[in-house]
């Protein structure tokens, strides 16, 4: 990313519009097309509190240009001014608007993709899950999940231990930002890190999907030691209960998971949420979803924004962007 001066690509048209009241920027190749194009609805990262359409200008432009697709970058409302579920509602509303008005934007309604990075990847996963229940709408063609958050129960998985102090997202930062995002007291951080917010019923119900046994052995080195969740504290759970299940895509019912569209899912070795990704990938594969997995061996959280720039640019970030473009092109 060019941090100081992201420039509009002259080969694309970019229009700022409202989709059902939600601000979006629509990127469309200027070259004529033989028919309707694919549509990619993109949700930016930033823990639901920062980030913007402008910050992801280069990312969305590259996808639109090189995959010959119409990309819709969604400027959803941010917390803490707008607490969740405002972000999910905006992302879902913008997606449904594109599906219902695809022809107006030169998009094939049967070839619409949702995707995003980090928290945006979480939003994309939840939108995809919500839409499998909508028999009145065309099915999504695919989802692109770039190092998404998928659960908020266990912060002692191997990747959380191994990468606890790895820039740009520390283990403690995940919980701190999560608490700020939902408008809760950050003094709960220590208890959440230990797992005191998880009642026994949840441990029993979701343990099979959270188990480190579901993570390949090659990811369990670098000093990992299995740590049991701390004793349950009902008051901590009471403050967080409304958010634990609703927005943890890992814990969706089997009947929802098995209906999800073809998926590209991206993990990074030096990322605290790496194992969130691996666990969700396993659930998708186990339920017959067609999954393409791209693991960046020397990758880190947030790296998508470093694929170009005048000072900081990483070859692995270029490879990541190319994998997204190739996936979309080949759908």
- Among 38, 91, 97, residue whose Cα is nearest residue 63: 38
Q: 267, exposed or middle or buried, with CB in 10 Å at 0-12, 13-18, 19+?
A: buried
- Clarify whether 11 is annotated catalytic: no
Name, in order, each residue with C-beta under 8 angstroms of 114's C-beta and a sequence gap of 6 or more: 40, 41, 43, 91, 95, 124, 127, 128, 140, 143, 144
**Cα separation values, 208 from 205, 212, 279, Å:** 7, 9, 10
d(CA 326, CA 44): 20
Please name the helix (run of DSSP H) or strand (run of DSSP E) that holds residue 70, with its range, or none: strand 70-74
Task: Identify the bridge partners of residue 17 per DSSP, sorted by sequence position.
Answer: 24
| CB distance 157 to 149 below 8 Å | no
Domain ranges of the chain: 12-152+248-329, 158-242
pLDDT tens, residue order, the chain (331 aa) = 344 456 788 999 999 999 999 999 999 999 999 999 999 999 999 999 999 999 999 999 999 999 999 999 999 999 999 999 999 999 999 999 999 999 999 999 999 999 999 999 999 999 999 999 999 999 999 999 999 999 999 999 999 999 999 989 999 999 999 999 999 999 999 999 999 999 999 999 999 999 999 999 999 988 899 999 999 999 999 999 988 888 899 999 999 999 999 999 999 999 999 999 999 999 999 999 999 999 999 999 999 999 986 557 889 999 999 999 999 999 9
From the options 3.10.20.520, 3.40.50.300, 3.80.10.10, 3.40.50.1820, give the CATH code of 12-152+248-329. Answer: 3.40.50.1820
**Choosing from 90, 271, 275, 276, which is the catalytic residue?**
271
- Clarify whether 255 is annotated catalytic: no
d(CA 151, CA 20): 29
How do strand 142-146 and strand 291-300 relate by DSSP bridges? unpaired
Name the DSSP letter for residue 230. P
**Choosing from 67, 69, 73, 118, which is the catalytic residue?**
118
Q: How far is CA 140 from the centre of its chain?
A: 16
């Amino acid at each position: 990313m060019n941090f100081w001066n992201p420039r509009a690509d002259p080969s694309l048209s970019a229009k700022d519009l409202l989709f059902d009241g939600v601000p979006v920027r629509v990127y469309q190749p200027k070259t004529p097309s033989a028919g309707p194009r694919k549509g990619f609805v993109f949700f930016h990262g930033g823990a639901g509190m920062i980030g913007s359409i402008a910050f992801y200008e280069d990312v969305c432009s590259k996808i639109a240009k090189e995959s010959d697709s119409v990309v819709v970058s969604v400027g959803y409302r941010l917390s803490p001014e707008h607490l969740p579920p405002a972000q999910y509602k905006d992302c879902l509303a913008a997606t449904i608007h594109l599906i219902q008005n695809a022809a107006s934007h030169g998009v094939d309604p049967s070839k619409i993709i949702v995707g995003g990075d980090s928290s945006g990847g979480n939003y994309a996963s939840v939108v995809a899950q919500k839409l499998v229940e909508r028999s009145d709408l065309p099915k999504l063609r695919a989802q692109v999940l770039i190092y998404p958050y998928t659960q908020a129960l266990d912060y002692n998985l191997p990747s959380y231990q191994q990468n606890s102090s790895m820039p740009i997202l520390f283990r403690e930062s995940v919980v701190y930002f999560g608490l700020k995002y939902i408008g809760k007291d950050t003094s709960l951080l220590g208890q959440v890190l230990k797992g005191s917010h998880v009642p026994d019923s949840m441990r029993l119900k979701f343990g099979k999907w959270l188990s480190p046994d579901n993570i390949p052995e090659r990811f369990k080195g670098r000093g990992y030691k299995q740590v049991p969740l701390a004793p349950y504290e009902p008051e901590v759970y009471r403050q967080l209960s409304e958010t634990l299940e609703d927005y943890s895509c890992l814990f969706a019912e089997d009947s929802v998971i098995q209906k999800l569209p073809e998926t590209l899912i991206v993990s990074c070795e030096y990322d605290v949420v790496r194992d969130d990704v691996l666990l969700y990938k396993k659930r998708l594969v186990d339920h017959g979803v067609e999954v393409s997995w791209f693991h960046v061996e020397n990758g880190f959280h947030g790296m998508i924004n470093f694929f170009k720039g005048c000072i900081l640019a990483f070859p692995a970030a270029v490879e990541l962007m190319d994998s997204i473009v190739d996936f979309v092109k080949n759908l």
